[in-house]
Amino acid sequence: MSREPGETLAAWQAALAELEAAAGIAPKAARDAVANVGSDGGSLQSGDASDGRPGAASPVPPVRWSTPTDLGPLPSSLAGRVERLLAVQRDAIARVDEARRAVLGHLGALGRVEESREPSRSVYLDVTG
């Protein structure tokens, strides 16, 4: 069953509001309104990123997101919102990759620390020198 143009626009607006809220880029009122609402088969629960920064930590554990169904084609009037959301997602991916590389570096450094020959002796790592 196809949607009328106004219904398609409303469905896309709801789906984008849900994703923006999860990314922390929507106004607080919009985040609160969609915090636990799925749209057209889509399912995403988000927490409140209280400081308003994109990607800010959320007190609610992440849940698996499923693609909304039957949204119809993206209305051209929403292209800017989609591009903004895509940029936030790309930035989040870059930050996760940067954090992953830092952790790998830390794990590598820890692997090079000489193990103590005596199990009861403490081993300290000088991180300032």
Better pLDDT: 26 or 105: 105
State the pLDDT at residue 77.
Answer: 94
pTM: 0.57
| Whether the Cβ atoms of residue 55 and residue 90 lie closer than 8 Å to each other | no
Six-digit token string for 54? 């994109």
Residue 11 and residue 44: Cα distance in Å, rounded?
15
Tens of pLDDT along 49-104? Answer: 444 555 555 555 666 778 888 888 999 999 999 999 999 999 999 999 999 999 99
| Whether the Cβ atoms of residue 70 and residue 1 lie closer than 8 Å to each other | yes
State the pLDDT at residue 2.
Answer: 62
Tens of pLDDT along 29-53? Answer: 444 544 544 444 444 444 444 445 5
CA of residue 46 relative to chain centroid, distance: 9
Name the one residue in this structure whose structure tokens are 């991916």: 93
Instruction: For residue 9, give the nearest of 57, 69, 55, 77 by alpha carbon.
Output: 77
Grouping H, G, I as helix, E, B as strand and the rest as coil, residue 43 is strand
SS3 annotation, 67-81: CCCCCCCCCHHHHHH
DSSP per-residue string spanning 45-103 = -----TT--TT---SSPP---B---S--SPPGGGHHHHHHHHHHHHHHHHHHHHHHHHH
